[in-house]
Amino acid sequence: MTNPVGSDSLNPLFIYEDAKREALIAQAQELPSVEISSAAAANAVMLGGGYFTPLEGYMNLADALSVAREMHTSDGRFFPVPILNLVESIDAIEGAGRIALRDPNVDGNPVIAIQQVEAIEVVNDADMNLMTEKVYRTTDMEHPGVAAFNGHGRHAISGPIQVLNFSYFETDFPDTFRTAVQIRAEIEARGWKRVVAFQTRNPMHLAHEELCHMAMDRLQCDGLVIHMLLGQLKPGDIPADVRDDAIRTMVRMYFPENSAIVTGYGFDMLYAGPREAVLHAYFRQNMGASHFIIGRDHAGVGDYYGAFDAQTIFDTEVPADALEIEIFRADHTAWSKKLDRVVMMNEAPNHTKEDFVLLSGTRVREMLGEGIAPPKEFSRPEVAKILINYYQSL
């Protein structure tokens, strides 16, 4: 199993000791408090679960700018994206040394974490634009990640945190949400040594399933961790509970026993393409994976990124010694009519586009909404049935 990034052990910021956590929850009610953004709450969940080891909390502006420019903090620690707590107003917490952070995603806005305030800095337009351009490779407000990042406010509250709960993820997804600590423990319990991780924010069609089988076979892995994003998505994406049902059904029916686990993590999608791919690899190493699948247009949206930018960034921008995890570079996968199986398209010579079963996302959604299952070469019928039920319920 790989070591955590930059550390011999995980550094989860969740307070596991019950008595201490209960005391902190009581103290939080007396502290000045601020409702944070969904993104900052998701950062707290990831920090709490050990995924962002070895970070101790939210970055200050100098570290965030250094990470945006060069993928390392001011003191040289590798990290691919700024981890910030940006708020619009500091009126309720100005001058406080310790504050309660309230969760915007749970009714009643309970305290998700307590933060020691090291600094509160105003992020000016130039610094915000620099971070946006470096992380997202665009400042276009039509980009959903850019719009979200620039809508959180301009006051950056930095300092270490103590995490008191995992927001709605534990309660809404009790069978799926897992911390990096829990996934490492399960990998160890299963006796897996070589583990490949697969990221998804969508249900898995046949091509995704076969890509996982290919990676496991070629890398000689003991196990697969299907690790789905459970946080906020853009409008039109399929809800996490539907994805969860579809993926679990696929694994139960088409993967050998003790070869794959279905888990999820509490984070809001950035849609940051290459930079987000590096972040995905970073926290998959922290959860214990030795390999990570990165395919065509990984974590992308629209036409903002080249098809393989999320792979080449590991050659051009990520320092050679920054990560232990190895990247499995995948091309688009599809059913070959000539070979009668799923292949990576770049490994299928003498094929034209017409030789593959290819359906646009729009056409698939139309078919499912009409109660029509995509062809068996595209989707497992059991998965299609779950998605048809969802689309017809809209």
- Neighbouring C-beta atoms of residue 198, cutoff 10 Å: 27
Q: Where are the alpha helices (DSSP H) in the chain?
A: 18-28, 38-48, 61-70, 125-136, 144-149, 169-172, 180-190, 206-219, 240-254, 274-286, 309-316, 361-369, 381-393
Question: Distance between CA atoms of 73 and 76, rounded to whole angstroms?
Answer: 5
Q: Catalytic: which of 202, 248, 329, 365?
A: 202
Torsion angle defined by CA atoms of residues 124, 126, 129 and 130, in that order, rounded to the nearest 10 degrees: -120
User: DSSP character for 355?
Assistant: G
Contact 225, 194 (CB under 8 A): no
Q: How many residues does the chain have?
A: 394
For 325, the token pair is 């995890």
**Identity of the residue numbered 153:** G
Is 202 designated active site? yes
Is 363 designated active site? no
Q: Catalytic: which of 77, 194, 201, 248?
A: 201
Contact 201, 229 (CB under 8 A): yes
Question: Distance between CA atoms of 61 and 64, rounded to whole angstroms?
Answer: 5
Q: Distance from first CA to last CA of the chain, Å, rounded?
A: 43
Active site residues: 201-202
